[in-house]
Amino acid sequence: MIILIGGSSHVGKTLIAQKLLEKTAFPYISLDHLKMGFIRSGMTKLSVEDDYEMRYFLWPFAAEIAKTAIENQQNLIMEGCYIPGEWKQSFTEDYLAHIYGTFITMSEGYIRKHFSLIASCASAIERRIDDKPDMERLIQCSKDFQADCERFAIPNLHIGDTDSFNADALAARILQEAGIAAKAS
């Protein structure tokens, strides 16, 4: 089974992927790591600032990694803001039968109310160098990912104005919606 977790930066994708690893023993890959591999190796002229272009540069590689894992009957979690809304178009129905994808979004009200918490958790799993979240950009990106969920029929784990962020609960919801049982402790 492949689990794809997309959404804007700073919504907790990597933390949720880590929780899923702990619950399932499925390995995960952060598409940020793939991005940095291409940038540092000089295999792309794109920079860390080129998020939109990077999405469409990285996605073909990520999709082929997912296909290879499916062909080898391996489980894998992929997370990152580089999963495009139209990701399903990269797979045949045979592959799609083995993929669960979701995007995590936050409401404008939630982001505004909890922005200092969001900013303080920016390096919860990955150590980010000089990555200061921009509130207005986070709001717009979350709206864009939410629109992609509606346009492409992608399950949306939406954190609303009055919700609290709970990575364990979101991971459990992903497992439930994907029909995956957590490993026995």
In 3D space, the residue among 35, 8, 2, 21 whose CA is nearest the CA of residue 167 turns out to be: 21
Q: Can you give the pLDDT at residue 128?
A: 47
161: domain CATH number is: 3.40.50.300
Give per-residue pLDDT as tens, 27-58.
999 999 999 999 999 999 999 889 889 999 99
Domain count, the chain: 1
CA 117 to chain centre: 19
- Alpha-carbon distance of 142 to 158, in angstroms, equals 9
Q: Tell me if 85 sits within 8 A of 151, measured CB to CB.
A: yes
- Asked whether residue 183 is domain-assigned, the answer is no
Range of the domain at 139: 2-178
Q: How far is CA 119 from CA 6, 37, 38, 139, in A?
A: 19, 25, 26, 13
174, pLDDT greater than 90: yes
pLDDT digits (tens, 9 = 90+) for 100-132: 999 999 999 999 998 888 887 665 544 545 557
Tell me, yes or no, whether 185 lies in a domain.
Answer: no
Whether 166 is in a domain gets the answer yes
Answer whether residue 126 is part of any domain.
Answer: yes
